[in-house]
Structure 1
Amino acid sequence: MMDFIKHRDLKISWYFSLVAILFCSCVEPYDIETKTFESALVVEGTITDQRETQEIKLSRTFRLEENNPAPENDAKVKVVGDDGVEYFFSSIGEGIYHSNNQFRAISGVNYSLEIMTEDGSSYASKPSTLSGTSIIDDISAIRTVQTIDGLDSDGIVILVDSRNASASSIYYRYTFEETYKIKSQYNVQKKLIVTEGGGLEVVWKEEPDNICYRTEFSNDIILTNTNLITDNNIEKAQVHFIDKSNTALAYRYSILVKQYSLSREAYEFYEILKELSGSESLFSQNQPGFINGNLFSLDNPNEKVLGYFSVSAVDSKRLFFSFTDFFDLLEFPRSKFDCSITRPDAFALLGLIESGIVQYYGDAGLGSPSDEGEGPYRVANIICIDCRILGTTEVPEFWIE
């Protein structure tokens, strides 16, 4: 279900790549263009204490004028424990590597990441070991008003309470996955198709397309620590805020929060990375330079490698709620799409249907005098009729109404 969203492209690799550009290029005010460029390997890798398919992602830095990082494919990847056990990873495409077998990190074992890229270059990480524990007691949703960019915003804040079973577990990173229900503005059982002869025909739909589900993934670096808390427990740590105008809240909403324990070194790395991801830091005249992680080249000590390989204890909890749990129906978020009904002429309509821009709403004879145009069919923006443009009709296994 989650494949339809490219959730990784704007995640931590985006920060890694921008920071890489900063140490090797010159950015002038209002001239967002890379003057010089040095390709560097970017590594995202966290193995956890949960028995699961572990994941490593490899990519390359990209220029400011480019849209996304380039995946590093066809590499040989493995994680090696100082207990002598090796775990091999295979590519599933787009620079993502999954462990061939499920495994979990074991307390007291030091793990290293080893990489050989397609061109024969070799890389490794410094040894990392499991950092303490991670136990989420509760996640909650509360209606509140927050000031964002100088404006008050009414919405829902997602908070985490965490219990620490080890005095050493005082640094945490959070990620989340939010899944929400989508309803098409119009529920129409028929559609227009282009016939083999180049005409238009109204046919029954094979399946309903008015209720869908969409999953989106966090793309911020969310950190907290218990340095100033005597019992090392986290209370009401904010991991997300959703404005009430966000249509993700319109019907049913779910969020899965994951909490990762971090070593002090990993926390400091992510903290600096988070600071540099701010617009003032990224485009200031005082460029911050390269951030040292725990990865290095085995062939060239001067080659820069971005990213961090960590070993974390992880815990997760899921929360469900509906819009009416917090808001009145009069506050219902409005669609940002134009869903007006039109009647394009037959020639224009053919092109619009072929391009997937509009879809059938009804016959012209059932129209309103206010409809724009005098074509044979009433149509609307396809996104107002077919919710599959935004999500999938497959109900998630975890979904609870």
Structure 2
Amino acid sequence: MSSLLIRRVLSGCLVLLAACTDPYMPEVITSPPSYLVVDGFLNAQGVTTINLSRTYAVASKATQPVETQATAYIEDEAGTRLPLTEGTVKGTYTSAAQTLNPARKYRLHLRTQAGKEYVSDYVPVKITPAFDAVDWRAEREGLGIYVSTHDDANATQYYRWEYEETWEIIPPLRPSLEFLNNNIIPIRVPYPTVCWGTERSPIVQLTKTTSLSQDVVSNFLLRRLPQNSDRIFRRYSLLVQQHALTKEEYAYWDLLRKNTESIGTLFDPQPAQLTGNVHCVNSPDDLAMGFVGAHTLQQRRIFVERTQLPFSWPFNDGFTGCYPPDTLDLSKVKNPFQIFRSGVALPVGQIPKGYTISTLDCVDCRRKGTTVRPSFW
């Protein structure tokens, strides 16, 4: 039996099965409890940013609700408080730039608008070692980005990384006319010729050196882009953030990684309850999600130019479905060449016979990013 026939048989089976089943959404998925989610860490040398939100139903089409108008501050074991304030971005609370005393332990203290009081466990301040290197390599599998670091004092041992990538988006088509109300008219507002896309790391990146004789991380693969990625079509940048974790914080992130990445077959580990080190003081049954650690932060940015990559790698601008542009059915256009007769003096022989046409997705790069040029570009 040919592979095509097998696919047809399987497709028929799937249609048949789909027709005989009804969707089932358990109550816990459609209307789960609303728990507080605490996202962030206490920056020991700089500005602390904490995002507060709420859990919501998997089946919900709404955006994740944020926790606004809360009172938040950092406090040490001696009772010293450093306030966090909510800015223009609702649910985001920031402190002034500060330096935490590494000889003390700190925690986050929250009081919601509803009067619920939450505290995280007191945690020690960890000093994140500097990067030894953030390198990129053109490899057979694509563009690989690696980080290396070490701690001579053997005091770190548990590491986590985040990254934010930015890339240029260049639309392949630049129209001079537009189709409006069944008429061809000069384009009213030119479309941008370049945009920038940005995305934060979607996965948890961790490692530990407890089984090694030295606290050294060498060439940890942080990111891989295939050779034909549209993100390396012209210019690409990646900002790496390095965090030093405690053993308990590492365990939390490792469980989060397993819960989000390693589930999908019968042989994967089953999901485990994930809470963290944040607790509700005046209502212990109200769970909170998140782990608030305290450490310094190391950052490094790299750039990759297309001219630095192998010429043999295929070029992909992210608009492959836009070639070639379609043609416009002139029967749908009122006076299809009126613009040339009234607006531009052209001999009759030079009046065009038709138009090529495309969609906004092929000409407006704002569908994929923003026209605001990044400050570091």
Q: TM-score, normalised by structure 1?
A: 0.75
Shift of 1:71: 1.6
CA distance in 2, matches of 1:176, 1:125: 25
Q: 1:33 aligns with which of 18, 25, 37?
A: 25
Q: State the match for 1:384 in structure 2.
A: 362
Shift of 1:327: 2.3
Query: Does 2:130 align with 1:130?
Result: no
Shift of 1:167: 1.8
Shift of 1:38: 1.9
Q: State the match for 1:42 in structure 2.
A: 37
CA contact (8 A) 1:191 1:205 kept: no
Matches for 1:101-140 after TM superposition, within 5 Å = 101-140=96-135
Q: 2:55 aligns with which of 50, 53, 61?
A: 61
Q: Which moved more, 1:173-182 or 1:325-334?
A: 325-334
CA contact (8 A) 1:292 1:306 kept: yes
Q: Which moved more, 1:268-277 or 1:90-99?
A: 90-99
Q: State the match for 1:89 in structure 2.
A: 85
Question: Would the alpha carbon gap of residues 58 and 349 (structure 1) be closer, same or farther in structure 2, given more than 3 Å must change?
Answer: farther
Q: State the match for 2:373 in structure 1.
A: 395
Q: State the match for 2:3 in structure 1.
A: none
Q: State the match for 2:161 in structure 1.
A: 174
Q: Which moved more, 1:261-270 or 1:77-86?
A: 77-86
How many residue pairs get aligned? The number is 336
Q: State the match for 1:270 in structure 2.
A: 253
Shift of 1:98: 2.2
Q: TM-score, normalised by structure 2?
A: 0.79
CA distance in 1, matches of 2:232, 2:154: 38
CA contact (8 A) 2:169 2:196 kept: yes
CA offsets 1:185-230 (integer angstroms, 9 cap, x no match): 1234x353859xx966314646x61122221111211001111232
Shift of 1:178: 0.7
Shift of 1:126: 0.8
CA distance in 2, matches of 1:242, 1:285: 26
CA contact (8 A) 1:73 1:93 kept: no
Q: 2:46 aligns with which of 20, 26, 51?
A: 51
Shift of 1:291: 2.3
CA contact (8 A) 1:179 1:214 kept: yes
Q: 1:160 aligns with which of 147, 156, 160?
A: 147
Percentage of matched positions with identical amino acids: 22
Question: Would the alpha carbon gap of residues 347 and 228 (structure 1) be closer, same or farther in structure 2, given more than 3 Å must change?
Answer: farther
Q: State the match for 2:229 in structure 1.
A: 246
CA contact (8 A) 1:182 1:211 kept: yes
Task: Point out where structure 2 has 5 or more consecutive residues left out of the alignment.
Answer: 1-20, 335-349
CA distance in 1, matches of 2:189, 2:125: 52
CA distance in 2, matches of 1:347, 1:110: 75
Q: State the match for 2:178 in structure 1.
A: 192
CA distance in 2, matches of 1:94, 1:292: 23
CA contact (8 A) 1:337 1:384 kept: no
Query: Does 2:197 align with 1:202?
Result: no
Question: Would the alpha carbon gap of residues 285 and 156 (structure 1) be closer, same or farther in structure 2, given more than 3 Å must change?
Answer: closer
Task: Point out where structure 1 has 5 or more consecutive residues left out of the alignment.
Answer: 1-28, 146-153, 351-363, 368-373
Which secondary structure state, in structure 1, belongs to the residue aligned with residue 46 of structure 2? coil
Query: Does 2:294 align with 1:300?
Result: no
Which secondary structure state, in structure 2, belongs to the residue aligned with residue 271 of structure 1? helix
CA distance in 2, matches of 1:178, 1:285: 30
CA distance in 2, matches of 1:44, 1:122: 16
Which secondary structure state, in structure 1, belongs to the residue aligned with residue 374 of structure 2? coil
Which secondary structure state, in structure 1, belongs to the residue aligned with residue 27 of structure 2? coil
Q: State the match for 2:10 in structure 1.
A: none
Which secondary structure state, in structure 1, belongs to the residue aligned with residue 163 of structure 2? strand
Shift of 1:264: 0.7
Amino acid at match of 2:93: Y
Which secondary structure state, in structure 2, belongs to the residue aligned with residue 143 of structure 1? strand
CA distance in 1, matches of 2:111, 2:321: 50
Question: Would the alpha carbon gap of residues 329 and 224 (structure 1) be closer, same or farther in structure 2, given more than 3 Å must change?
Answer: same
Q: State the match for 2:9 in structure 1.
A: none
CA contact (8 A) 1:182 1:214 kept: yes
What RMSD in Å do the two structures reach over aligned CA positions?
A: 3.0
CA distance in 2, matches of 1:116, 1:269: 23
